Structure 1
Amino acid sequence: MISKGNAEHYIWGDHCDGWYLLNRPDMLIIHEKMPSGTQEKRHYHSVSRQFFYVLEGNLTMELESDKHEIKARQGIEIPPGAKHQARNNSQLPVEFIVISHPTTRGDRSDLSSC
């Protein structure tokens, strides 16, 4: 059994938390938490397809210049090659699950204009 309580923890971005729920070459599943006012760098993956599913709070996802407001119990698919950026524009933390197939390891290209 795996949970946030016993999963390997990591820090990313500006005080954001992540937990590896499944970390395999063919699939990566992570639980992430973004405090209010944080964001990741705008980027894309050449091969990996991702699905973000919000557990708590509201996540703003910029996907190819379109902004999507994703609430708890909603998700969004990010196809390979799509430029995207997750943000927490709300006043509360947001927690979500990210499923990546295959893993995003070595398959991330950051964009200079974030």
Structure 2
Amino acid sequence: MQGKNVDSGTVAESLHPKHNRYYLKDLVVKADSGLLSVHRGRIEAGGEIFVHTHEIESETFYILSGQVECTMGEEKVAYTAGSCGFAPPGVLHGLRNTGDVPVELIAIFTPPLK
């Protein structure tokens, strides 16, 4: 296995099929590491990563810019740049953009989602 350098500005972006106005760039995938996957996300104003769970993966997400309401289990917490959340398998979680600018974030899955 070799290392990998990624310029996220050159990675193709896709609209997530299950969420509202949420766009993803896959930076590190299972084929690259086998241990985790890393994704850059953008939630447009009015957009949302709907509340969901993962059966196998733990998800860690780090807010780079913007403001969101994070649902974590039964709790709702305001997140801004620098906030980080961790959702182990089976824990309900979601993010809703509460501002009028896009939210930029990094999402890390262990084991890899893709």
Q: TM-score, normalised by structure 1?
A: 0.83
Structure showing the higher helix proportion among its residues: 2
Tell me what 1:101 maps to. 110
* Shift of residue 52, structure 1, vs aligned partner: 0.6
Tell whether 2:66 aligns with 1:57. yes
Answer yes or no: is the 8 Å Cα contact 1:19–1:32 preserved in 2: yes
Root-mean-square deviation (Å): 1.5
Q: Please, which runs of 5 or more residues in structure 2 have no aligned partner? A: none
**Secondary structure, aligned partner of 1:16:** strand
Answer yes or no: is the 8 Å Cα contact 1:45–1:104 preserved in 2: no
Tell me what 1:23 maps to. 29
Tell me how far apart the structure 1 counterparts of residues 68 and 104 of structure 2 sit (CA, whole Å).
8
**Percent of residue pairs bearing the same amino acid type:** 22
Q: TM-score, normalised by structure 2?
A: 0.83
Total equivalences in the alignment: 105
Tell me how far apart the structure 1 counterparts of residues 58 and 80 of structure 2 sit (CA, whole Å).
21
**Secondary structure, aligned partner of 1:38:** strand
Answer yes or no: is the 8 Å Cα contact 1:54–1:75 preserved in 2: yes
